[in-house]
Amino acid sequence: MNTSLDKNRIPRHVAIIMDGNGRWAKAKGQPRLFGHNAGMEALREIVRHSQTLGVKYLTVYAFSTESGKRPEDEGAGLFKLLVKYFGSEIDELHANHVKVNIIGDWSKLPAESKQAINDALEKTKNNDGLVFSIALNYGGRDEIARAVKNIIESGVNAADITEELMSKNLYTADIPDPELVIRTSGELRLSNFLIWQSAYSEIVITPVLWPDFTKEEYEKCILEYQGRDRRFGGIK
């Protein structure tokens, strides 16, 4: 572990926008799916290292509500990779007490992916280790619109709508807001990821493309986070 890291100030929840798989593959003259495959390897290492560092919640952006605009074979390829990922990782995740969670509307995913997800959720549901959330067909605006729908349908009076009630109706109801949001590949935007939850998150952007994101890079991001002055509107 990086000796400059303060072990007592590891963020409880880290959220990651894994970006740059396509550019990584292109630079190597390979198809985009080659990059997604390599991205899965990076993810494996980051999940493991999150446990080593003592991160309690890890949330990763794998497929947005807008990712559906990509060519069909890329989407299908990504979901196949997901099935493969769960197939090869689930035993290790479970042995390490990781609890798998999915955020987003995964009801319309291919049957094979849904089966793999259901198995993973079922198998790890009682685990008390790292809560590992994967955002699939996830969109922050979609999530907020759904929360509003749920609240109205439950018959709540307008006067009783609070920020807390909104939070409880999001996909992340049981998960604290992320202290740190990391985006790889240098893009300076949130791309509809956790837009409610990241209201006061520290955002760290690294130029590294996701398949090249190692545990050392991860620690550098946490180090940058630890150097930030978090004021939440107050004065220090």
Which residue blocks in the chain are alpha helix, DSSP H? 21-27, 32-53, 72-95, 111-124, 140-153, 163-168, 215-226
CA–CA separation, 35 and 185 (whole Å) = 13
Least Cα distance to 75 among 87, 83, 67, 65 occurs for: 67
Pick from 20, 77, 139, 140 the residue near ligand IPE by CB under 6 A: 20
Catalytically active residues are 19, 36, 130
Compose the 25-44 pattern: x for residues touching ligand IPE by CB under 6 A, - for all others: -----------x--x-----
Q: What is the smallest separation between the CB atom of 101 and ligand IPE, expressed in angstroms?
A: 16
62 binds, among Mg ion, ligand IPE, none (CB under 5 to 8 A by kind): ligand IPE
Give yes or no for residue 18 binding ligand IPE (CB under 6 A): yes
Give yes or no for residue 78 binding ligand IPE (CB under 6 A): yes
End-to-end CA distance of the chain: 30
Of residues 172 through 231, those in contact with ligand IPE by CB under 6 A are 185, 187, 189, 191, 210
What secondary structure does DSSP assign to 161-223, as a single string?
--HHHHHHTSTTTTSPPPSEEEE-TT--S-TTSSTTTTTT-EEEE-SS-GGG--HHHHHHHHH
The window from 17-25, 137-145, 157-165, 205-213 that contacts Mg ion (CB under 5 A) reads 17-25
Q: Which residue is nearest to ligand IPE (CB)?
A: 22
Give yes or no for residue 19 binding Mg ion (CB under 5 A): yes
The sign one gets for the Cα dihedral 110, 113, 119, 124 is negative
Q: Which CB, 61 or 171, lies closer to Mg ion?
A: 61
Interacting residue ranges for ligand IPE, rule: CB under 6 A = 17-23, 36, 39, 61-64, 67, 78, 185, 187, 189, 191, 210
